[in-house]
Structure formats: structure tokens, C-alpha cells
Amino acid sequence: MARINLLPWRDELRKQKQQQFIVVTAGTAVVGGLLVLLAHMQFSGLIDKQNQRNQFLETEIATLEKKIRKIKDLEKTKTALLARMDIIQQLQHSRPQSVHLMDQLVLTLPDGLYLNKISQKGNALTLSGSAQSNARVSAYMRNIDSSEWMAQPRLEVIKTKDGDSRRSAEFILRASQATPAKESKTGEEKS
């Protein structure tokens, strides 16, 4: 029988399989590395794109905040202008009231009573003067009470003074300016 030595063939096959294993392992490692590199590049691209979007949104938000600040400033200016317009309208409405008030001050003044000082704060009137008697002050208060343009007379101080064979009463009277019902209705219809 002939003897055939198969050892070198098996060694070669083993070496060949080892080389194939090393090549497949190296190829798999390279393909795996490439996949990891591609995934990293893909994710970094997505991150960069998202960062660009975030930057765009931040710039847009900043411009919108500037516009909002301008709008708020405009609203403040608008409210200030509306307040001024209201004041002007009130002044326009009260302009004839001053004339009527002065007219009523003269019409309600009884004989023997003199006004020395008139002051007004808002609708509050302070009248000071002198009269020949306390009865004239009472008549003046009744006249104010019946007036359309003045109301609520209140006597603050009355002092009787004797001098030069004449007796006089100095007084301080408070009242409020009123608007007649006819005038307030026509003022509401106009506005």
C-alpha cells in the first residue's frame, strides 16, 4: 500500500482559512468602521443643521422682540395721546362752563354783599368776601342753591366786624360747580 502524506495539504488549508478569517475580520472591521464613520457624519450633519435652525430662530426671535418693544412703546405713546385727547375734550367741554359760572356769580350776588376772592380747584369753589349783614350771606347761599351752575353751598367762616360806624360780616363760603341737566344731555349727545 502506498502511503500519502496529507499533512501539508491540511496545513495549507488551515493557513488559507486563517487568512480568509483575517481578511473577513479585517473587512468586517473596515465596513463597521465605515458605518460608524457614516453614522457619525450623518448625525453631525443633522446636529449642524439643527444648530443652524436654532440660530435662525434666535435671530428671528430677537427681531420679533425688537418689534414687540416698538409696539409696546407705540402703545404707551397711544395711551398718552388718548389721555391728552381726553383732557383736551374735557377742557373744550368745560370752556363754556367758566363763562356760565362767572355769569352766575354775578347773578346770584345780592345787594350789599361783595366778593374779595374766588378760587377754584376742579369743581370746588371757595368764595370769600364781606357783607353788610349775616342775612345777606344767607340770601347768597339760597341764591347759590337755586342756581343751575353752582350747588351745595357751605359756610366755612363768618366773622362780624364793627368799624367806622358800620357793621360788616366777613365770610368764607365753599360751593361746587354744577352742570345743568340740559347742558349735560347736549354734551353727551355731541360726544
Q: How sure is the predictor about 190, in pLDDT bands with cuts at 50, 70 and 90?
A: very low
Per-residue pLDDT, averaged over 101-106, amounts to 81
Which candidate, 129, 138, 119, places its Cα nearest to that of 161? 129
Number of domains into which the chain is organized: 1
CATH of the domain at 183: 3.30.1360.100
Domain membership flag for residue 15: no
pLDDT, position 29: 96
Which one is predicted more confidently, 95 or 107?
107
pLDDT higher than threshold 90 for residue 141: no
pLDDT, position 115: 86
Grid cell listed for 94: 368745560
pLDDT higher than threshold 80 for residue 125: yes
Domain membership flag for residue 108: yes
pLDDT higher than threshold 50 for residue 42: yes
Q: Which residues contact 136 (CB under 8 A, 6 or more apart)?
A: 110, 111, 112, 113, 169
Domain membership flag for residue 135: yes
Q: How sure is the predictor about 165, in pLDDT bands with cuts at 50, 70 and 90?
A: low
Which one is predicted more confidently, 141 or 48?
48
Domain membership flag for residue 10: no
Domain membership flag for residue 152: yes
Which candidate, 153, 150, 128, 156, places its Cα nearest to that of 139? 153
Domain membership flag for residue 105: yes
Domain membership flag for residue 167: yes
Q: Which domain holds residue 170?
A: 97-190
